[in-house]
Chains A and B, each alone.
Chain A
Amino acid sequence: MVQDTSLHATYGVDEDDEVIAEIPLYMSNRVANYLHIFQYPLRAVPFGPDSQPVAARIKPKAKMVELDLAFDTPSRNYDKDRGHELALGTNDKAIRTALDGMMDVDEEEEHDVLDRQTLGSEILPGNTKYMVGVFKDDEIHLTPVARIMQMRPTLRYLDKIDDKKRISERRIQEADTNEEPKEIPTKSTALQMSMKSNNPDAQPKENVYSSDHRFAEQEMWTKLHYFDETTDQSNAIFDQLFSASKDPVECTTTASQYLEKLSAP
């Protein structure tokens, strides 16, 4: 069989087309299981030398990562008053209420401002294969990506402030109600609750989501060492993105087989 080596036969392009470049593709697996894409949807600029994350945490089992980015608190654009208000979300001091009386504000408290923003990760579900290619010296070295994480700000300080407010309100309420004599119920009634389900024979569904979520909540954050792209360590690993060998790897799937693979189940 005379092989048709025309461009059209090989690549499906018009005959008058020209090949400008042929770039070899290499596969590299050395970093494959570790490679992640971190997307920062709310951030347009890359991290610079003075805007790198200042802290990082990870929950290895739950596969969650948190990064802390510092705010530029001395900047003119930083609202110190608001920062001060929000600083309540960063410490564990209870909100002072009228019950606590007037105390001197600590020196530190005055300067306490919200100085960092925490980005939390979320895994993007992916149904397809992603790879990172390093293009260098007219070669592309592909490494498969393990997963994609999106980093979004977690506004935990707001939650914390809400909690504190609730607690302080409750304290105030209790202080008020304590002045009235409480009626202790002398009778105790047994409450019975039963869950009725449409299908009593069905197995109780295990709420998979909640158990996963629960485990994730229970897992502790451990410190993650973050090496930015300028470090030696990152450079060393960057070198691993290149393929270990240049030996040819044969593709054993023919065109028709591939079509079948694509079209089955």
Chain B
Amino acid sequence: MSDQKAPPLGSAMRKSRPQKPLDASGSEAASTGPSNVGNGESASGTPIGTSPRVKFDPSIPPTPPTTTSQTPPATTGRLGTLGHVGEGSPAPGRLGSLRGDKVTRGGAAKMRFKPTAPQRRVKREGAPSLLEQSQIASASASPPQTTETTTHTPTPSPPRGRGRGRGRGMDRPRPQEAPAIASGPFSQGSAKTIGRSRGATSGGVSSISAASTPRSKSSEDEDENAKEGIIQFHGDAWAPLTMPRDRKAVKKEEPKIKQEEADASAAEEGTSIKTEIETPPVRDLVWDVQSMRLGDRSGETEAEQSETLERLLFFQFPGVLPDFVKTADKVKTEDDAGGPKGKVKADPDDAMARGETTLSSINLDEDVKIKADPDAPATTKVPTARIKREEGDFKSPEQIAPDGLIGKLVVFKSGKVKMKFGDVLLDVTSGSECAFLQNIVALDTSNRQAFVMGNVERRFVCMPDVEWLLTQ
């Protein structure tokens, strides 16, 4: 009951006024009169915290109906309740206002402000946002890195996006409270400042451009920064910092470089990264071969060619794809679906793999209708809260295949490239050249977040190799 709580803000305002025991709201004037005798609460002995009795006294302007100890709020806003609070009457022995403390001079009901904790935007229960899932997953996968990054929190460091002063680079994202997004050139302050502060700690900022775009360094500062792999545009404090393209390499280099803090140098980083690249020699060759047939790589410098560790590719597949089933579950899937229809059951791996897709409909049906799948709650072992479709969520396409190894891409000396999924062979050719920018973005509509993964480097089109399929 509202008046039995610690006196809220509203009552603080009333401290200046004499308090009387709560014997009747709005009728303090009559409290000393004979009409209160029957209440059992005298004007003198009643502690303030007791609940008032409702007393209808026609001599007093009508008080609002909620005069019981329960105070249903007249309006429950985010900020508090404007309630007709039947709380605190003047102290014993003091006279209250004639009209009562619930009524203003004009006769209107006085509204008391009772702040309530602001309601956070309601999130679905048990449905962490995409970002949260990812952060949990990556934190659990690589604890040492996480601890490192937390110690770096005060240090602004471009590859981590921390300390940008925009409240965004925190471990627990709070989308509704995140301030402006702009990551302009000023976001990290002077480039020189950043370079210096990063010197001893996250020296792992080896920018890709360090190798490919050597710049002449005249000042000592720039030399120092160059050692750490930071490229500085000559003389311009506000110039943008170049960002490393390979995230994983940077992270992996971190522990190594921390140990060798003292002699961290661009050369060292350069070579250590290069060794990572060079270990699988076939990959470069693959790209060369593919490029000969599928694209022109001559525009890239040698340095760029050897630097990239991750490439984002865009594949166009035929609308009809073969069915995939996790080998472990193959036995289980022969239920009413039967035949080639694969029902993807939730086994521990699957659940982990798919548990993070909050909206995936688990059935692999033949018809390509996208609908709110009524079977979804039955077939999936993912907590049902995640299957709820929230407004604004994109309808999820059916799953093509469960997580795992589904096939292989084979590159031939002749330049042909094929994809093999079990018995099915697809031809891979180069997609149309897109001169314009294409970004890969993970868009979480329910949480209003967009994450850019990077740019599409190459497009490929995969078509069923019908000639070969016909010979089978």
Interface residues of A (CB under 8 A from B): 10-14, 17-50, 52-56, 58, 60-61, 63, 65, 70, 127-138, 140, 142, 144, 146-147, 222-241, 243-259, 261-262
Contact = CB atoms under 8 A, between A and B. Distances in A.
Contact of A33 (B162, B324, B357, B434): B357
A63 B184 CA distance: 27
B405 A24 contact: yes
16 contacts: A17-B412, A20-B285, A37-B456, A45-B437, A52-B182, A53-B182, A135-B311, A140-B313, A144-B399, A144-B400, A222-B448, A225-B168, A226-B452, A227-B161, A237-B130, A259-B470
Contact of B424 (A37, A63, A136, A251): A251
Contacts of A140: 313, 409
Contacts of B435: 44
A226 B181 contact: yes
Contact of B352 (A48, A60, A244): A244
B440 interface: yes
Q: Is the interface of A mostly helix, strand, loop or mixed?
A: mixed
Q: Which of A27, A138, A251 has the most CB of B within 10 A?
A: A251
Contact of A251 (B407, B441, B471): B407
A66 B256 CA distance: 42
B472 A27 contact: no
A212 B329 CA distance: 42
Interface string B310-354: 111111111111111111101000000000101000000100111
Given A230-B159, A249-B401, A255-B423, 18 more contacts: A12-B471, A13-B414, A23-B411, A25-B406, A26-B404, A28-B403, A30-B356, A40-B436, A46-B455, A54-B182, A58-B445, A129-B318, A144-B397, A223-B448, A231-B169, A236-B135, A240-B137, A252-B340
Interface stretch (B20-28, B64-72, B239-247): B239-247
Contacts of B134: 30, 233, 236-237, 239-240
Nearest 6 Cβ contacts at the A-B interface = A60-B392, A251-B422, A253-B322, A255-B472, A12-B468, A49-B240
Interface of B: 130-131, 133-135, 137-138, 141, 149, 158-162, 168-169, 173, 175, 178, 180-185, 240-243, 247-248, 280, 282-283, 285-286, 289, 309-328, 330, 340, 342, 349, 352-354, 356-360, 391-394, 396-397, 399-414, 416, 418-425, 434-446, 448-456, 464-472
A36 B443 contact: yes
A251 B419 CA distance: 13
Contacts of A61: 391-392
Contacts of B159: 230
A44 B436 contact: yes
A233 B182 contact: no
A224 B450 contact: yes
A28 B289 CA distance: 26
A248 B405 contact: yes
Nearest to B467: A12
B210 to A, nearest CB: 16
Given A29-B399, A136-B310, A262 B440 contact: no
A27 B161 contact: no
A250 B326 contact: yes
A42 B321 CA distance: 33
A36 B314 contact: no
Contact of A262 (B183, B330, B392, B464): B464
Given A17-B412, A227-B449, A231-B169, A244 B353 contact: yes
Contacts of B401: 27, 249
A249 B326 contact: yes
Contacts, number: 427
A25 B409 contact: yes
Nearest to B401: A27
A238 B137 CA distance: 11
A237 B451 contact: yes
Given A239-B134, A248-B405, A258-B322, A130 B316 contact: yes
A138 B318 contact: no
A144 to B, nearest CB: 6
B466 to A, nearest CB: 7
A208 B109 CA distance: 51
Contacts of B470: 259
Contact of B286 (A20, A132, A226): A20
Contacts of A17: 412-414, 416
B357 A11 contact: no
A73 B87 CA distance: 59
Contacts of A37: 314, 438-441, 456
Contacts of A11: 410, 412, 418, 420, 425, 468
Contacts of B444: 34
Contacts of A248: 327, 404-405
B310 A249 contact: no
B423 A39 contact: no
Nearest to A259: B469
A247 B315 CA distance: 22
A255 B424 contact: yes
A30 B418 CA distance: 26
A150 B404 CA distance: 31
A253 B472 CA distance: 13
Contacts of A23: 286, 408-411
Given A25-B409, A133-B313, A237-B453, A253 B422 contact: yes
Nearest to B419: A25
A257 B452 CA distance: 38
Contacts of A254: 423, 472
